[in-house]
Amino acid sequence: TYRAPVSSTSSEQWCPNSYPSTEMAASDESPMVRPTVQELTAAGVEEPPRQYVLPEQDRHGDLLAADEFPEPTPLIDLSRLTDADEAERLRAALQTWGFFLATNHGIEDSLMDAMMSVSREFFRQPAEEKQKCSNLVDGNGKDYQVEGYGSDKVVSEDQVLNWSDRLHLRVEPEGERNFAKWPSHPESFRDVLQEYASRTKKIRDLVLRSIAELLEIDEDYFVNQISNKASGFARFNYYPPCPRPDLVLGLRPHSDGGLLTILFNDDNVGGLQIQRDGRWYNVPTKPHTLLINLADCLEIMNNGIFRSPFHRVVTNVEKDRLSLAVFYAVDAETMLEPAPGLLDDKRPSRYRKMLAKDFVAGLFEHFRQGKRFIDTLKI
């Protein structure tokens, strides 16, 4: 049986790719801070350093290979979910893919444009500016925090790193926002993110209620699983162009750990791929839409009727790419188990139950070994 490692720093890492940066120290006396991917590309590297290169057996010939997304694109009008036909389209999207693209989600184009623009501006700043939000404690490369700017945490020699940097900020519970880690440049960053996050929270609740209705359980069942201690994180992913997209991944394959993820993608640059029946598909983008996907805890709570999609990000030679994922989770003390209303003699529970804090603790370790933790809970 799996025993979750005890680690205070990992207790809030709801996305297995969200481990912040520290280079493995050669010894305790000589910790080393690794350059960000953006710094590597700025220095003009022609070959990705060895730590980023996927082992040959994981490349399956052509890494980028993915199929075009089959019709119809799962596009859902969130303002029409009270109509039976739109709700049925949502059901089909969740059954087939575990995600959908949302239109009429209530965030004005101008707010989305502002969000993307301040995010781009943050990453465009000189390294010293960005380091003011660093996730390293005292900048020493040894201790790190859940929040802040940085790149992958390195925990072992054989770990394959992602071709991306990130800024990771808590947005929920609202009272626990740590503004010391929020960029002060550009100046409007803070207000724009606060406004944006208040909107994504409404979208979260709307979508969770719609899913409960589709499943014919109490409309508030999933929303009620979210206590006032539940966390939400905004994760800004920055993917610099890569000289060898055939050798690396922007984000390694994973499913998100929480309940629901609301993703705002750069619509000019593709890169996100989703797996279905063992094949990878390029996810289409559409200006001012949001991509909303189920995450592992919600898969457990709905007893696997709707699944949390396995996804990854590929890089490209020419363009940098930015995405903003807002991860919504439950609090650490929540028992993860299927909604009782979905279980009966004919429909037994498909997952072992587990406390959320034990689940989140196991996520990264399994991810690192190329496994999905949720698979180990299946009965």
The Cα–Cα gap between 139 and 318 comes to: 31
Q: Which residue is listed with tokens 């457990």?
A: 300
| CB closer to ligand AKG out of 80 and 276 | 276
In the region spanning residues 191 to 210, those forming contacts with ligand AKG, defined by CB under 6 A, are none
Provide the minimum distance between the beta carbon of 285 and Fe ion in the complex, in angstroms, as a whole number.
15
DSSP string, 174-240: GGG--GGGS--SSTTHHHHHHHHHHHHHHHHHHHHHHHHHHTTS-TTHHHHT--TT--EEEEEEEE-
- Tokens representing 10 are 């990992």
- Tokens representing 236 are 């800004």
Among 307, 311, 357, 372, binds ligand AKG (CB under 6 A): 311
Q: Is 289 in the site for ligand AKG (CB under 6 A)?
A: no
Among 10, 38, 231, 265, binds ligand AKG (CB under 6 A): 265
| CB closer to ligand AKG out of 302 and 315 | 315
Of the CA atoms within 13 Å of residue 137, those in its CB half-sphere come to 6
SS3 300: helix
Provide the minimum distance between the beta carbon of 236 and ligand AKG in the complex, in angstroms, as a whole number.
9
Site track for ligand AKG across 13-52, x = CB under 6 A: --x-x-----------------------------------
Provide the minimum distance between the beta carbon of 293 and Fe ion in the complex, in angstroms, as a whole number.
7
* Binding partner at 235 among ligand AKG, Fe ion, none, C-beta below 5 to 8 Å by kind: ligand AKG
| CB closer to ligand AKG out of 17 and 119 | 17
Name residue 169's beta-bridge partners: 234
Burial label for 228, CB within 10 Å (0-12, 13-18, 19+), is exposed
| CB closer to ligand AKG out of 248 and 272 | 272
Rounded alpha-carbon distances, angstroms, from residue 7 to 31, 148, 159, 179? 20, 18, 19, 24
Name the residue with the smallest CB distance to ligand AKG.
323
The Cα–Cα gap between 139 and 132 comes to: 10
Among 12, 152, 165, 256, binds Fe ion (CB under 5 A): 256
Provide the minimum distance between the beta carbon of 81 and ligand AKG in the complex, in angstroms, as a whole number.
24
The Cα–Cα gap between 127 and 121 comes to: 12
The Cα–Cα gap between 213 and 327 comes to: 22
Provide the minimum distance between the beta carbon of 273 and ligand AKG in the complex, in angstroms, as a whole number.
9
| CB closer to ligand AKG out of 81 and 101 | 101
Report the interface residues with ligand AKG, using CB under 6 A: 15, 17, 235, 237, 251, 256, 263, 265, 272, 311, 313, 323, 325
Report the interface residues with Fe ion, using CB under 5 A: 256
